[in-house]
Amino acid sequence: MYSTIQFLHSYWAYLVLTILVLATFNALIKFFGNKEFQANDFRISLFALIVTHIQLLLGLILYFVSPFGLKNITANGMGGLDSFSRLLAVEHPFVGILAVVLITIGYSKHKKKLTSRPKFKVLSIFYTLGLILVLSRIPWSNWF
């Protein structure tokens, strides 16, 4: 169970980062370029929302089955974690959830806007923040 979820979460992360980078830059470039909001812009922002939600689900399961998630905190206490263990058990999960919340807010807010520029503006702000948060707390040294 643990190794399957760990494998899925690890490889799904490539898709999450690729789509999130594409959706974020798409919104930024079209906001600054004053472009019309088209069906493909909707699709890529929706796709980014879906892949990040799947990653959230995998991450939540992993948090309870991994020896580096909740089990590490229960075994050693918060004070007993070194900085890398804290990254895996606390910072990465917490910041990951926050990033998904921001992406979800951005997606739902953009749907309520009626014209192109406000749609791209909201997506640019919330997806950029989400992307920065995700990138800031990925356990890079474990991953590569």
Rule CB under 6 A: which residues touch ligand HEM?
Answer: 6, 9-10, 13, 16-17, 52, 55-56, 59-60, 62-63, 66, 68-69, 88, 92-93, 96-97, 99-100, 134, 138-139, 142-143
* DSSP secondary structure code for residue 38 in this structure: -
Considering the complex, what minimum distance in angstroms separates the CB of residue 89 from ligand HEM?
7
Least distance CB 79 / ligand HEM (angstroms): 19
Q: How far is the CB of 80 from ligand HEM (least distance, A)?
A: 17
Nearer to ligand HEM, 13 or 21 (CB): 13
12, 51 Cβ separation under 8 angstroms: yes
Residue of this chain nearest to ligand HEM (CB atom): 59
CB of 90 to ligand HEM, least distance (A): 10
Is 99 in contact with 126 (CB distance < 8 Å)?
Answer: no
Helix (H) or strand (E) holding 126: helix 116-136
Please return the burial class of 68, using the count of CB atoms within 10 Å of its CB with bins 0-12, 13-18 and 19+. Answer: buried
Rounded Cα gap, residues 86 and 100, in angstroms: 20
